[in-house]
Structure formats: structure tokens, C-alpha cells
Chains A and B, each alone.
Chain A
């Protein structure tokens, strides 16, 4: 691994204190990121991925939020930085793209101005120069007829166009680290593809470090260097993106991949869902949080929370007592099958269906890219 470390997160915890109790949104996340690489954080709704990104960026507001741990950006702990210092980093060093371009742009401000808002604040650019920069940026993010759109208000643009504007506005100060929080969730599929390609291109060209937060494995596939899978506020699996797809270790990651619909399946095949529901963050199950839904669950899983440990080669880590592909995992599956555990039966059923339709079950195919 070449390059220097740009971000190192250590044992990050974020809790919301609600009337019903403490909601642990992020529970001890650690990872590190090399300059110029891209990282995908994957997890379902409520897994803590957005809160993690916002915690690192110190954007969680409210008096009931508590964040502990550390996030070193170029050696400086962001979580311990005074507000004033933090403000100097925001926009110029670290930037963020938000999920919904309908709400992340100010409805009362023309897009040309929104794009250069921070330039004017941080770099004392005058109005004329700012307009030219805005025009260049809008062209760069491929907004057609940027000249005529620069004086439009956000509601006059389409969703994809708006997301391009917010990307342009995040890129304006040339940050070295860019967080993209579900940048394509609010967009329709064809536009998603374009926006993701745009982000990847900008990341490569500018040698930017990028973190994409998403619930869609298809977004990270083939686009990010590394992937981090989160479940109930914890990292359950972490590896290079290729490894995650080829040598899946954690049952949750495997279940996620299994729930991607595939074009090879005959029509009207029921969608493979993960049985059960995500745990309520105020009342987490004992032991491994995925244990109530896991097809390989064993008594040990209900008692001890598995630590995130290296498995196999090249920094592949997973938090599971019975990692997928191991002998112990196969035995656990057989045992649960004979015990007729509902989630295990459901998985076995979908495996059968896959075999009959001729698609290998454990291999995600081209349908997800």
C-alpha cells in the first residue's frame, strides 16, 4: 500500500440520548484510509453509516448527541479540534455531498452563487472571478448549457442536475477528502449511474480521497477501492472491494449480496429478503447483533460479540465466529437446517431456486454493477 494515511478513525462511538433511552448509532468503529483511495461504507437504513460520516465531519447537531473516540485527519484529531479550526477545514479540506439534492441546495439562492459560496468566504474571490469559476465547475460536472443555468434557482433544475450542482459546490474549494452520503439514493437509476461515474472521474482526476456512504452494494462494486460493511453501528466486514465480493466472510454481507435481484432469474421469482428486521438501536440483542437473523447462528453468537479480526490475507477483516466459507460455517448451516431454523430454511430454499435456474448462488453476477 503506497501513499500516506489521510484519515484514521479509532474507536468512534456516537450515541443519541432519547427519552426512550440511549441510542447507540455508532459503536466503536475503527478504520484507516490512504490518500487518493476511495472507500465505500455499506449498510442498511439505521446501521449507523450516515451518522458515522457526520460524526467524522462533526456535523451532528443537537445537545443530545455524544461522540467519543478519535478521527485523525492528516494527523490532527477532528473530534478534538476547536470549532474555529474545524471551520477552516470544512469546505477547504473536507467536503460533503448530501443524499437529497432537493433539500441540500438553498431554494432561495441561484445555483451559480451556491457553487461559489465557500470560495467567496474562504478565498476572497470577487464576484466576477467567482462567476467564471462557477461556470467552469458547472461545465466540469457536465451541466448542459451551464451559461443559461447559472442564474436559475434550484427548483428549476432536475434532480440529477441538482446533484451535479451540489457536487460542483463540494468540489469548488478542492477538498482533499470528500464524503458522499448516499449521493444517488434520491435519483432514478439511469441518473445514478452518471452521477457515480462523475464522482469516480473527479476523484481520480483530482487525486481526492473519497468516502461513499450507501445502502447499495451495486454502488461500491467496481468503483471504490475498499469497502466497509456496517451492521447495527459496528463494522462487520472490511476489505478491498474485490475481496468483499469474491471472498465474502460475514453472513450479513453474504445475505446482502443474496438479496440483490439478478437478471438471470426467471420473472416472478420472489425477492430474496433477509428474514427478520434490523435490531432497534436502543435494545440491541446480546452477543452478535446479527445473530437473530443469521442462518448460521450458534449458541455462542447469542452470548459473545465477535471482534473484528483479520481473516485470510491482505487486511480482510470480519467480525464473525463462523465466517462464510469455513468448515465451522458449513457445520453450523447443516445443524440449523436439521433444527429447522426459519432463516436457515429460507436461505436453503433460495439456494435451491438458484440452482434450478442455473445461477451459482454464492457468486454475484454482472446484474449488480
Chain B
């Protein structure tokens, strides 16, 4: 593993770990705690012993908000990807293995769905619903994310179905359902996992973009995009409340991409060794 990938992996572990145990970290401020309300607040403060990354324009601790913001991004990205893999993998395997009328209908539907821009869809649905929270965001994500996974799953299932071991399974009297579960799906999964590593950072960016536009999770819930948006107002006075979440976002997305690249290369060199 090259050193850069090591750094990226460490970073991702740090982000995931702190987001997971945020409630248990001693001394970590409540991310929505606004110091000025209670009288001790200093807004736009630089790094201090009590606020490691300083405070924002309503005197909230930036580090605490970054850590809690990671929760939103990660829960959104991972749950949407998981649904994509499960739904897309299942439908794609079925379509690719059984072919026929079912495949034609499903793929026509997927193609229609794919031609509809997901981002506009997000904007539309979250505006129409009016109320916004993480659950709703994830639900919208589920609706829009499964078609590409179905496509990838079907393409892989098509290739796998043509392999001799599927014919061999038939030749020993395996039922079609069992072939689907035991032969096709396990071989479709790696392709979907590889695809999802590319999809994860995109979803994190999507969530941040929505939050930046004020269409993500409702304020004051912390999210990276929302933090950047809020810091925008005082950008000329204090740039740091915008820099920290932007840097975190950059690091996280870059790390995912770097890791995905490494995994892909590893997988390629391994299959070359076979």
C-alpha cells in the first residue's frame, strides 16, 4: 500500500470512528450549542484550547460540528449505497440471468429512470416535501440510486451467465433459483462493491451540495455543506469556518477515490496472477 493510500485509509478510519462514537467523546461540545445564548460565546474565534478549530459566527464549536456533520454524510452515503447494492444487485442478477420479457421491461424502466437527472429529482422532491431530515434524504437517495446499480449488476450477470460453471450447475440439476443465489449473485457482488466505492464519494458530495443549497438536512443539524453555507455570510471577516468543512469534505472524498483506485489495482493484479 503506498503511503498516500495509508494516509487516506487512516483519515477515513478517523472520520468514521469519531462520527460513530461522537456521543462518547469526553469534552466534545454539543454541536448545536450556541455560546452567545448562554453568555460565554465568542463568535468567529480562532483555535483555542477549548475550541480546537475555533468557533463559527454563532459561536458553535467547529470541530464538534464537523464530527457530527460526518454522521449525516456517512449515514446518507453508506445507506444509499447499501440499498443500491442489494436492490440493484438482485434486480440486475435476475434480469441478466433470466433475460426475456422481464429483462426487457426492467431495463426499459431503468433506462427511463436513468435519463432523469437525479440531482434535479433531489431538488424537486426535497422542495415539494417541505420537511427535511436525514431519513427523507436517504429515502430519496434510495429511489434515485438503484438504477445504475441494476445496470452494472445486469451487465455482470450477463457475463457470468455465459460462463461454463453456470452450465455445469445446470448439468447437475440445480434449480434456477439456486443458480441465481449461489452462482450468479456472489459473482456479481464484487463488481457492485467496486462500483460502490466510486459511488460513495459522489453521494457525499451530493449530500453536501444539497445542504449547501439549504435543501439537505434541516438546520441547525450539523452537516458539512450546511456549515460552508453558513460561513459564506462572514467569509470576508473569518474564512476558517468555511475552510475546515471544505477541507474535511475534500480529504474524505479524495481518500475514498484514492482507496477505490488502490482496490481496483489490487484486484486487477490479483486476477492477473490467476
Same complex: yes
Residues of A participating in the B interface, judged by any CB pair closer than 8 Å: 57, 59, 61, 63, 87-92, 94-96, 98-100, 103-109, 117-118, 121-122, 155, 166, 169-170, 173
Chain A residue numbers with a CB within 8 Å of B169 are 106, 117
A166 to B169, CA, bound (A): 11
The one of A63, A90, A100, A103 that contacts B171, using a Cβ cutoff of 8 Å: A90
Contacting pair A91 B173 (CB below 8 A): yes
Check if B265 is an interface residue, CB within 8 A of chain A: no
Contacting pair B168 A121 (CB below 8 A): no
Contacting pair B274 A155 (CB below 8 A): yes
Chain B residue numbers with a CB within 8 Å of A92 are 173
Chain B: CB-nearest residue to A118: B172
Contacting pair B167 A59 (CB below 8 A): yes
30 contacts between A and B (CB under 8 A): A57-B171, A59-B167, A59-B171, A87-B175, A90-B170, A90-B171, A90-B172, A90-B173, A91-B171, A95-B171, A96-B168, A99-B164, A100-B164, A103-B163, A103-B164, A104-B167, A105-B168, A106-B165, A106-B182, A108-B186, A108-B187, A117-B174, A118-B173, A121-B172, A121-B175, A121-B178, A122-B173, A155-B274, A169-B168, A173-B172
Chain B: CB-nearest residue to A153: B274
A63 to B103, CA, bound (A): 14
Chain A residue numbers with a CB within 8 Å of B186 are 106, 108-109
Chain B residue numbers with a CB within 8 Å of A117 are 169, 172, 174, 182
Contact with A along B74-109 (1 / 0, CB 8 A): 000000000000000000000000001000000000
Interface members, chain B 47-94 (any A CB < 8 Å): none
Q: How far is the CB of A353 from the nearest CB of chain B, in Å?
A: 41
A89 to B169, CA, bound (A): 13
Contacting pair A105 B165 (CB below 8 A): yes
Chain B: CB-nearest residue to A170: B172
Contacting pair B164 A91 (CB below 8 A): no
Chain A residue numbers with a CB within 8 Å of B172 are 90-91, 95, 117-118, 121, 169-170, 173
Check if B183 is an interface residue, CB within 8 A of chain A: yes
Chain A: CB-nearest residue to B273: A155
Contacting pair A98 B173 (CB below 8 A): no
Contacting pair B173 A103 (CB below 8 A): no
The 8 closest A-B pairs by CB, nearest first: A91-B172, A90-B173, A118-B172, A104-B164, A155-B274, A108-B186, A91-B173, A103-B164
Extra contacts besides A59-B170, A117-B172 (6): CB < 8 Å: A90-B170, A92-B173, A95-B171, A96-B168, A117-B174, A173-B172
Residues of B participating in the A interface, judged by any CB pair closer than 8 Å: 100, 163-165, 167-175, 178, 182-183, 186-187, 274
Q: How far is the CB of A107 from the nearest CB of chain B, in Å?
A: 7
Chain A: CB-nearest residue to B168: A104
Chain B binding surface, main DSSP class: helix
Q: How far is the CB of B197 from the nearest CB of chain A, in Å?
A: 19
Chain B: CB-nearest residue to A98: B164
A327 to B174, CA, bound (A): 55
Chain A: CB-nearest residue to B190: A108
Chain A residue numbers with a CB within 8 Å of B163 are 103
Chain B residue numbers with a CB within 8 Å of A96 are 168, 171
A117 to B164, CA, bound (A): 16
Chain B residue numbers with a CB within 8 Å of A87 are 173, 175
Given A107-B187, A108-B187, A109-B182, A121:B165 Cβ within 8 A: no
A88 to B164, CA, bound (A): 20
Q: How far is the CB of A183 from the nearest CB of chain B, in Å?
A: 12
A126 to B169, CA, bound (A): 19
Chain A CB within 10 Å — which of B164, B169, B186, B274 has the most? B164
A89 to B171, CA, bound (A): 9
Q: How far is the CB of B184 from the nearest CB of chain A, in Å?
A: 10
Chain B: CB-nearest residue to A99: B164
Q: How far is the CB of B191 from the nearest CB of chain A, in Å?
A: 12
Chain B CB within 10 Å — which of A59, A100, A108, A170 has the most? A108
Contacting pair B187 A88 (CB below 8 A): no
Chain B residue numbers with a CB within 8 Å of A89 are 173
A108 to B274, CA, bound (A): 13
Contacting pair B168 A88 (CB below 8 A): no
Contacting pair B168 A98 (CB below 8 A): yes
Contacting pair A121 B173 (CB below 8 A): yes
Given A103-B163, A108-B186, A118:B174 Cβ within 8 A: yes
Q: How far is the CB of A361 from the nearest CB of chain B, in Å?
A: 39
Q: How far is the CB of B80 from the nearest CB of chain A, in Å?
A: 25
Chain A: CB-nearest residue to B165: A106
Chain A residue numbers with a CB within 8 Å of B171 are 57, 59, 90-91, 94-96
Chain B residue numbers with a CB within 8 Å of A107 are 165, 187
Q: How far is the CB of A64 from the nearest CB of chain B, in Å?
A: 12
Chain B: CB-nearest residue to A103: B164
Contacting pair A106 B274 (CB below 8 A): no
Chain B residue numbers with a CB within 8 Å of A103 are 163-165
A135 to B169, CA, bound (A): 20
Given A98-B164, A98-B168, A106:B173 Cβ within 8 A: no
A169 to B183, CA, bound (A): 15
Chain A: CB-nearest residue to B99: A63
A162 to B170, CA, bound (A): 19
Chain A residue numbers with a CB within 8 Å of B187 are 106-108
Q: How far is the CB of A36 from the nearest CB of chain B, in Å?
A: 21
Q: How far is the CB of A248 from the nearest CB of chain B, in Å?
A: 33
Chain B: CB-nearest residue to A100: B164
Chain B residue numbers with a CB within 8 Å of A61 are 167
A63 to B164, CA, bound (A): 18
A121 to B225, CA, bound (A): 53
A99 to B171, CA, bound (A): 14
